[in-house]
Amino acid sequence: MTEWLSEFWQSLTWTRVFIGAGVFAVSLGFSFAAIAVVLIKIPANYFSPHYTQDFLPNSPWIVRWGAVIAKNLFGVFLILLGILLSLPGVPGQGILTILLGLIMLDIPGKRPLEAKIIQRPTVLAAANTLRQRWGKPPLILD
């Protein structure tokens, strides 16, 4: 382990540091942008138990299935990114990214987990502040 670490530090150049920082900045920006778009676009009653969704209702079945598969893959990616952003020392909105990934997934039993995350006062306040900035009503929780 110490040999690997020693080799790593010796091979580290400013170019690699800047590339790593650039990749980090782009992924962080992408995470924030994705969170903002989804939290703005979801209906205010999305977290209500009475909410029913129909994904692309007027599209052909092949388009719907392709979109559902892509949406679920993107959801898994966001959950993994959220877990990474939740680690100590990694800046970013980890909890909101995990919530965004859960929103994207079509799995049974996700509603209670989504509700538990969005009911956290800081998460709900951040989501409602963002929605208010874009002229959307606050999220409704039952």
Q: What is the pLDDT of residues 35-75, one digit of tens each?
A: 788 889 888 888 877 777 777 778 888 988 898 899 899 99
Give the rounded distance of the alpha carbon of 62 from its chain centre: 26
Amino acid 135: pLDDT: 94
* Confidence (pLDDT) at 92: 67
Q: Which one is predicted more confidently, 79 or 8? A: 79
What's the pLDDT score for residue 91? 65
- pLDDT, position 116: 85
Average pLDDT over residues 131-140: 92
The phi, psi pair for 53, rounded to 5°, reads -120, 150
Distance from C-alpha of 5 to C-alpha of 13, rounded to nearest angstrom: 14
